[in-house]
Amino acid sequence: MPRNASGTYSLPTGNPVESGTVIQSTWANSTLNDVASALTDSLSRAGSGGMLAPFYFTNGTVSQPSISFTTENGSGLYLPFATDVRMTITGTDVMRWSAGGVAQIYKNSIWENILISSDIGSFVNPGTADTQTLRWDNDNLKWIPSDVLKTGLTGVTVNGSGGLLVQGTGGISVTGAAGLLSTGAGTNSFRAGTSAGSDNQGANSIAIGQLAGETDQGANGIIINSSGSVLNDTTVGHIHIASDLASINYNDTDKFTFNNNVNVTGDITATGTITATGTITATNGIVGSSIGATTPSTGAFTTLTATGNITVGPEDAVDQGGQIEYLAPNDTITWVTEATGADEFTSSFHIRPEGIHTSGALILGGTTASNNQQAIEMYTTGTLRVSIDNVGIVKGLWSDTLGANADSQFQVVAALPATPDTDTIYFVVP
């Protein structure tokens, strides 16, 4: 008699036998044949034969899996839920298979998908061009090819509007001989920023910042721009650094120029021209001609031009006024006032071998004199001589040719008139 659906075997009809009766061959043969058939239908522990129908296991648990091993009962397969078969290792889940063909591994307390060859198209789309890389599409839970980051045999290319974002403390290190280059830059040049060096940048140049060197930047130049306006130079070897507040510029024609104040705490050494549209104040020295020093320095200072003020010497020092010494003939100091007012007018002051020439008024004032005798000579129609003692008192006043002009006169005033008389010499006593 075969086993029932639960696997239970029952003896065939005629069993059990009764005590004291004769054993008959028909009973013995049929019973033993049935037992032999049932034994044949059982699995051999030695592995003889195989199953002829599905082999069912109990569901098991993570610690007692349905299929395990004689030396490690806690590792094997089990079924925790319908359509969810898992592998456990010593009582811990490591892998599972679920409906829909999903295979996952359990790592860091998270189930992660495993890509399988038969279903790889569902997770990774094939590429469309060489050097593409994969980008994870979280909306569709799959990998897709991308041209934003491309890897080739010679390097890595970053495309797209987002650019390259480097986070962390490591920064970017470039060890190759080519250095850090940017696409579209001139030969051996670098550009960074919107439209920087974007059109025909010269060789060996640098353009950093929005609109820096936008068109035809000259070779061997440097432009750093944070002003937001176009900053460009097509000449060779230029330097331009600009912000919203100031700029520093250099080209072969104008040399270095600054559009705002320049503060220097040390010395300024110049062999050419210093041109300023503001104020030049020196409390140390300018080599070539000394401003603020107690003695003139050696060397030739070509030109010192200022449309504002030139402050010579420290303002709060006593008897330490600076010196301006001119060694060449016909050297000139020229003052140009910023505006014409009640006490302001344009004048020139010339220091020449034959004396001091001025187109305006020469005003003497002050409360002390640093020398015992000071003589000042002015050429009008004759020679005017003024002698001052060591406390600033006028001791003598005379002229070689006074009276040649009948209208000439002297006046002592508290302040210079708004319109000085051209034939009058004024002495201002505050």
Question: Along the 430 residues of the chain, how does pLDDT read in single tens digits?
Answer: 678 878 888 888 888 888 988 888 888 899 899 988 888 888 887 888 888 888 889 999 999 999 999 999 999 999 999 999 999 999 999 999 998 878 899 988 888 887 665 555 556 677 888 888 888 888 877 788 888 888 887 778 888 777 777 888 877 887 777 677 777 888 989 998 888 998 999 999 999 998 999 999 999 999 999 877 889 999 999 999 988 888 898 888 878 888 877 777 777 776 666 766 666 666 555 555 444 444 444 444 455 555 555 555 444 444 333 344 444 444 455 444 434 444 444 445 555 555 566 655 555 444 343 433 444 444 444 455 555 555 555 555 555 444 444 444 667 788 888 888 776 777 777 6
pLDDT of residue 253: 83
Is 227 in contact with 196 (CB distance < 8 Å)? no
- Half-sphere exposure (CA, 13 Å, Cβ side) for 114? 14
pLDDT of residue 161: 75
Residue 53 CB contacts under 8 Å (≥ 6 apart), including other chains: none
- Half-sphere exposure (CA, 13 Å, Cβ side) for 326? 16
CA distance 397 to 167: 81
Pair of tokens at residue 123:
């997770």
Q: Which of 91, 96, 66, 92 is nearest to 78 (CA)?
A: 66
Q: Which of 222, 230, 169, 219 is nearest to 195 (CA)?
A: 230
Would you kindly state where each structural domain of the chain is located, as residue ranges?
1-56, 67-114, 194-260, 262-328, 347-372+403-428
Residue with tokens 């015992």: 372
CA dist 54 → 50, 51, 57, 305, 369 (Å): 11, 7, 10, 107, 125
Count the neighbouring beta carbons within 10 Å of the beta carbon of residue 164: 10
Residue 383 CB contacts under 8 Å (≥ 6 apart), including other chains: 377, 399, 400, 401
Separate counts of helices (H) and strands (E) for the chain: 1, 30
pLDDT of residue 398: 52
Q: Strands, DSSP E only, in 307-393?
A: 310-312, 332-335, 347-352, 355-358, 374-379, 383-388
Contacts of 404-410 with C-beta under 8 Å, sequence gap 24+, read 405/380, 405/381, 408/380, 408/381
DSSP single-letter state for residue 212: B
- Half-sphere exposure (CA, 13 Å, Cβ side) for 37? 13
CA distance 231 to 217: 10
Is 212 in contact with 197 (CB distance < 8 Å)? yes
pTM: 0.41
Q: How many residues does the chain have?
A: 430
pLDDT of residue 337: 40
DSSP for 80-123, written as a single string: EETTEEEEEETTEEEEEEETTTEEEEEETTEEEE---GGGGGGT
CA distance 378 to 357: 7
